[in-house]
Chain A
């Protein structure tokens, strides 16, 4: 069993006069998929934002490959892909332009893979259509295409299946399992019933305690 990729110790977060979670602890190793469960408002999105480093409103320790995340921030950002509530897609640009910009931001992506990535999310033929002319689902898929581009080992996904049809969901579930098989890890939240073959760890924030696998 190799060193865990991500370690979370005694994580505490409060917002709007409510303690969302305290003494949250877990470890994530390569090849693991973890789902954060909880009702709406229980802090799932907040937790993902804290793990990705976007939110600073927390106490406790987060370690990446054994080092405190704050000390290795650049390396962590290069090895992590975050998919938030918002698509992160500019409506005025085409899917290809959006992905090329993403590749510039994340050097671990190769822009040569962009056409293939767009095809895998079902946007072949739409590479040069401005995203404001696409549907919400299609725009969301531009964002998901990043999953096919990125070489980051850790994926933090917040509701990745929104606005995706059943076929697309099945394809993404397969992708997640493949990613885990190749040594990557995934942390995600979703309302869908996950049908990924293989073990999926869960943490239920409503119980405010971690359940380790």
Chain B
């Protein structure tokens, strides 16, 4: 085993291989601790249940509320799950090793968020029809709901991850993440609910979906940079 023979020649596995390995590791970790998987989904359904209980179970009334309520519930459920994104790695020292890797941090971070999204945002999107049923969302709105959630929840995960990275060094990051991230969620919320409402009233969806897509594209490019910088800062003290 020779040492230091090729100082400048960092043998890089392809970015895709690294991405896949990271995603696979995240799935492995989550499926071995199954309890954490279901929590955001249960929360999602419970929040939606609060509205008929707290306000009114009238179908007409709920149908009007449905797009907003489902979106807000998805948003809150995503937020709730964000703290766990980096916390376990921070506590056992894996985050340090991640930051000391010569591999591009952008890819590593993107992979972690992508895996996290599959287990929260994507799962929430797949559960959304259930909530649409409970809240009497008109059938026309379903396509708009699913598409908007599909395009919007990745952005929520990416932006939420910034908050998680900024607070990972704190002992109780939970509520602080929400405070930091909720203002940043507002555009996604506005366009997401706009899409659903347009679908319900039969108006074209394309504009809203394009806007959501643009926000996602921006988040995909900028968020991992912010997340990486925030992780380095959090671990530096």
Do A and B pair up? The answer is: yes
Which residues of A are at the interface with B, using a C-beta cutoff of 8 A?
A: 5, 30, 52-57, 65, 74-75, 77-80, 82, 84-93, 97, 101-102, 104-108, 130, 151-153, 179, 182-184
Q: Are B4 and A184 within 8 A (Cβ)? A: yes
Q: Is the CB of B2 within 8 A of A182?
A: yes
Chain B 195-234 interface mask (CB, 8 Å, partner A; 1/0): 0000000000000000000000000000000000000110
Once A and B bind, how many residue pairs between them come within 8 Å at the CB atom? 106
* Residue of A91, A102, A104 most packed against chain B (CB within 10 A): A104
Q: A30 vs B3: C-alpha distance in the bound complex, in angstroms? A: 10
Contact call A56/B233, Cβ cutoff below 8 A: yes
- By the criterion CB–CB under 8 Å, are B32 and A104 in contact? no
25 A-B residue pairs with Cβ-Cβ distance under 8 Å, sorted by A, are A5-B4, A55-B236, A55-B237, A78-B10, A80-B100, A82-B97, A87-B93, A88-B93, A88-B94, A90-B88, A92-B29, A92-B32, A92-B33, A93-B32, A97-B25, A104-B22, A104-B103, A105-B101, A106-B102, A107-B10, A108-B11, A152-B3, A153-B4, A179-B3, A184-B4
Instruction: Provide the bound-state CA to CA distance between A90 and B32, in Å.
Output: 12
Taking CB atoms, residues of chain A closer than 8 Å to B89 are 90
CA distance A80 to B29 in the complex (A): 27
Contacts of A86 on B, CB cut-off 8 Å? 91-93, 96
Is B28 at the interface (CB under 8 A from chain A)? Answer: yes
Q: In the complex the two chains form, what is the Cα distance from A54 to B232 in whole Å?
A: 7
- 9 interchain residue pairs of minimum CB distance: A86-B93, A153-B4, A88-B93, A78-B102, A105-B101, A77-B102, A56-B236, A184-B3, A78-B10
Residue of B nearest to A15 (CB): B237
* B100, B233, B235: most-surrounded residue (chain A CB, <10 A): B100
Query: How distant is the Cα of A97 from the Cα of B102 in the complex, in angstroms?
Result: 20
B4 touches A88 (CB 8 A): no
A91-B10 in contact (CB<8A): no
Which residues of chain A have C-beta atoms less than 8 A from B13's C-beta?
104, 107
- B21 contacts the other chain (CB 8 A): yes
A183 surroundings in chain B (CB, below 8 A) = 3-4
Residue of B nearest to A153 (CB): B4
Indicate if the CB atoms of A93 and B28 lie closer than 8 Å.
yes
Supposing A86-B93, A87-B93, A107-B12 touch, asked if A53 and B3 sit within 8 A by C-beta, the answer is no
**Given contacts A56-B236, A88-B93, A30 and B100 within 8 Å (CB-CB):** no
Is B99 part of the binding interface, using a Cβ–Cβ cutoff of 8 Å? yes
